[in-house]
Chains A and B, each alone.
Chain A
Amino acid sequence: MAKSHSWHAPAEALLLPIGALGAALLAFGLFVWLGGTSPTATWLLLFQGAFGDAFSWQNTLQRAAPLMLTALAVALPARAGLTVIGGEGALVLGALGCAGLPYLLPHLSGLAGCAAVLLAGALLGALWVALAGALRQWRGVNETIASLLLSYIAIAVFKHLVEGPLRDPASLNKPSTRPLAESLRIGAIAPDSVLGDVHWGLVLGLALCVAAGLWLSFTASGFALRVVGGNARAARLVGLPTDALVVLACALGGGCAGLAGAVEVAAVHTAANASLMAGLGYTGILVSFVARHNPWAIPPVALLFGGFAAAGSLLQRRLGLPDASVLVLQGFAFVAILAAEALRGKLFALSLPRISPLRLAAVAGKPV
């Protein structure tokens, strides 16, 4: 086998996803071209709508914030060896917790109240995804299927409560919960600057990605979690509390997705309603896979896909493409990123290995 250089692995870690995303963009261009739309105009608008000017940057950053959190909901369980995809359900429950807590505690206000509604959202999301992890550990139920089923159940409960018991009678056309009190909302970071409407949720998302990265890389429990994900049997043999670690990872992930929903309510929608179900949980799955479940890589990837989502409306307005065009691009990206996995370890092996004459002689002289 050819000697692999120390820079090969990190170079591949960067080149493979970039190449895969390039291939996905190429395929997307071909796809719209088949429908009679100019691919170059599409690509151009995609980047203009995402990163073209201050306004599109604001839009992109606002969309990237919840994606970081829903991506963590996939990444943390994935590091423990579980493929959990119930982020959308945890997100709507988080929104419900955030918008619902003031029904129970009407006197909440101020920073403490804001923290309380956010925590309520995170807690509901955490419980929901932890359930998928617990079912897997103690009942052997496939966690991918279970988490998605739980997600559908959560969405049904959400719709039932928002359109029924929790409905604000004043919300006529679009059933919503009562709007969050002004003092409980999350504001913009710097409303008068170039950041515009970008709210503190972005800081929260970044902070949690960094915290998750630090936890996994530098703490004993984070390391234990990665051992469980790498080889559950070995983890059990060395006496790690495998079940507890897996459920913890699921709970933390679910908590992040729940927080995403709560932040969306507190910063953007001000009440829980159907607008929350914009597929942020599903896009988060893709973000996590592109980032290879690495919390450090999640923010830039979330930024990219937040940008594509922001550009979606521009594609719709300027080129008349359906609003699902972003979904198609995401689908292509997902397929490409998985296919690229097959090239890992081979990207640099394609060049001829340099063999020293001495070694060549040794190989030639060796009896076969």
Chain B
Amino acid sequence: MSVDAWFDLLLAIVGGAVRVGTPFLFVSLGECLTEKSGRINLGLEGVLVFSAMAGFGGAYLSGAVWLGVLLAGLSGAALAMLHGLLCSLPRVSDIATGIALMLLGAGLAFYLGKPLIQPQAPQIPALGLGAWSTSPGVQSALAINALFPLGVLLAALLSWGLANTRWGLVLRMAGDSSDAAKALGYSVNGVRIAATTAGGFIAGLGGASLSLYYPGSWNEGLSSGQGLIAVALVIFARWQPWRCLGAALLFGGAGAVGPALQSIGVGGSTHLFNAVPYVLTLVILVMTCSPQRTIKGAPVELGVSK
């Protein structure tokens, strides 16, 4: 390959990292917030699919894309709140509830989204950060989803808020020592429900990014495991919002390798390229986890309380 071809490939991967990585970013931030409070929400896959449908439907019916984005967030929050409430019942496991939510979210989305498969909805605008360049390749690579800066801002906000605010402290206390939170008079379940709901809202924005930016339409195969990968990414990111950003971009890049190679004419099986993120996630999990010690940064109550 020539230098130009390599450059084009690199550009396509960088552009793709942001394009494909944006939903990963939102879902992993949502999961990070949830897990910091001491609960796992495996159901964010269901939240992602459901909110993608709701966001698309909202944008299509109202004609206003940001209304759709808001609706996606709210529907994600509603579904996640169900998770939070269910898990607060005695003897209800958060893992099992997450699985239930995956199935329920997908079922509801496919049911309600049936009439939304054909139409076109207004799309989230792209920010043309590549306007300085004359190269169309650079321009298209740097045309960035307007939700992405919002996600970066959110990562900063979460990172700062968890460390420096009273809310952040209470949330982390519920996740690290529910006894301490109880002793100070906070309702551990209340904190966890709030964190799960807020996490669902954030993950819902990721759903909007799927259906309203890239790929930018609604169909039943829209997400196949992105939500689950994002949940796994939080372990890799050691429960730190900034690292979630890095992990999301890494995975966006991995997901973009296949299409980027194809765009410059290197063929291969689409299906095998599509499997790359799953394999990568598994490899990363195997490398990060260890049976002997708990992972650094893991909330203490995670997986212990149940």
What are the interface flags for B275-306 relative to A under an 8 Å C-beta threshold, 1 for contact and 0 otherwise?
10011011001100111100000000000000
Interface residue? A218 (CB, 8 A): no
Q: 3 closest pairs, A vs B, by CB?
A: A331-B104, A327-B107, A324-B110
Given contacts A140-B290, A328-B108, A335-B104, 4 further A-B contacts (CB under 8 A): A139-B285, A144-B95, A335-B100, A338-B92
A–B Cβ pairs within 8 angstroms, 25 of them: A139-B286, A141-B282, A141-B285, A141-B286, A141-B289, A144-B95, A144-B98, A145-B42, A145-B232, A146-B285, A149-B229, A149-B232, A156-B275, A156-B278, A160-B272, A164-B269, A325-B111, A327-B111, A328-B111, A331-B103, A331-B107, A331-B108, A338-B86, A342-B90, A342-B91
Contact of A324 among B114, B279, B285, B290 (CB under 8 A): B114
What are the interface flags for A146-160 relative to B under an 8 Å C-beta threshold, 1 for contact and 0 otherwise?
101110110011011
Question: Of residues 7 to 58 in B, which have CB atoms within 8 Å of A's CB atoms?
Answer: 42
What are the interface flags for A197-212 relative to B under an 8 Å C-beta threshold, 1 for contact and 0 otherwise?
0000000000000000
Interface residue? A260 (CB, 8 A): no
Is the CB–CB distance between B269 and A148 below 8 Å? no
What are the interface flags for A273-298 relative to B under an 8 Å C-beta threshold, 1 for contact and 0 otherwise?
00000000010011001000000000
* A110 to B291 CA separation, bound complex (whole angstroms): 47
Contacts of B91 in A (CB 8 A): 341-342, 344
Contacts of B106 in A (CB 8 A): 327, 331
How many B residues face the partner with a CB closer than 8 A? 46
Interface residue? B89 (CB, 8 A): yes
What are the interface flags for A314-338 relative to B under an 8 Å C-beta threshold, 1 for contact and 0 otherwise?
0000000111110111111011001
With A149-B281, A156-B274, A322-B114 known as contacts, the answer to whether A335 contacts B86 (CB < 8 A) is: yes
Interface residue? B177 (CB, 8 A): no
A315 to chain B, nearest CB (A): 11
Contacts of B229 in A (CB 8 A): 149
* A159 to B272 CA separation, bound complex (whole angstroms): 9
How many A residues face the partner with a CB closer than 8 A? 45
Is the CB–CB distance between A342 and B92 below 8 Å? yes
B296 to chain A, nearest CB (A): 13
Is the CB–CB distance between A334 and B100 below 8 Å? yes
What are the interface flags for B43-85 relative to A under an 8 Å C-beta threshold, 1 for contact and 0 otherwise?
0000000000000000000000000000000000000001000
A87 to chain B, nearest CB (A): 12
Contacts of A83 in B (CB 8 A): 93, 95-96, 99
Contacts of A328 in B (CB 8 A): 104, 107-108, 111
Contacts of B111 in A (CB 8 A): 321-322, 324-325, 327-328
Contacts of A156 in B (CB 8 A): 271-272, 274-275, 278
Is the CB–CB distance between B82 and A335 below 8 Å? yes
A131 to chain B, nearest CB (A): 9
* A137 to B286 CA separation, bound complex (whole angstroms): 11
Interface residue? A339 (CB, 8 A): yes
Contacts of B282 in A (CB 8 A): 135, 141, 146, 149-150, 153
Contact of A342 among B89, B269, B275 (CB under 8 A): B89
* A90 to B225 CA separation, bound complex (whole angstroms): 17
Q: Tell me whether chain B's interface is mostly helix, strand or loop, or mixed.
A: helix
| Contact surface of A with B, Cβ cutoff 8 Å | 83, 85, 135, 137-142, 144-146, 148-150, 152-153, 156-157, 159-160, 163-164, 282, 285-286, 289, 321-325, 327-332, 334-335, 338-339, 341-342, 344
* A138 to B278 CA separation, bound complex (whole angstroms): 20
Interface residue? B187 (CB, 8 A): no
* A160 to B269 CA separation, bound complex (whole angstroms): 7
Interface residue? B140 (CB, 8 A): no
Contact of B103 among A139, A140, A159, A334 (CB under 8 A): A334
B200 to chain A, nearest CB (A): 15
Contact of B92 among A139, A282, A331, A339 (CB under 8 A): A339
Is the CB–CB distance between B225 and A330 below 8 Å? no
Contacts of A135 in B (CB 8 A): 282, 285-286
A181 to chain B, nearest CB (A): 27
B75 to chain A, nearest CB (A): 15
Contacts of B103 in A (CB 8 A): 282, 285-286, 327, 330-331, 334
Is the CB–CB distance between B96 and A289 below 8 Å? yes
Indicate the member of B82, B103, B274 with the most A CB atoms within 10 Å: B103
Is the CB–CB distance between A160 and B97 below 8 Å? no
Contact of A322 among B92, B97, B110 (CB under 8 A): B110
Contacts of B278 in A (CB 8 A): 149, 152-153, 156
Interface residue? B224 (CB, 8 A): yes
* A331 to B96 CA separation, bound complex (whole angstroms): 12
Is the CB–CB distance between B289 and A144 below 8 Å? no
Closest to A161 in B: B271
Contact of B291 among A85, A139, A282, A286 (CB under 8 A): A139
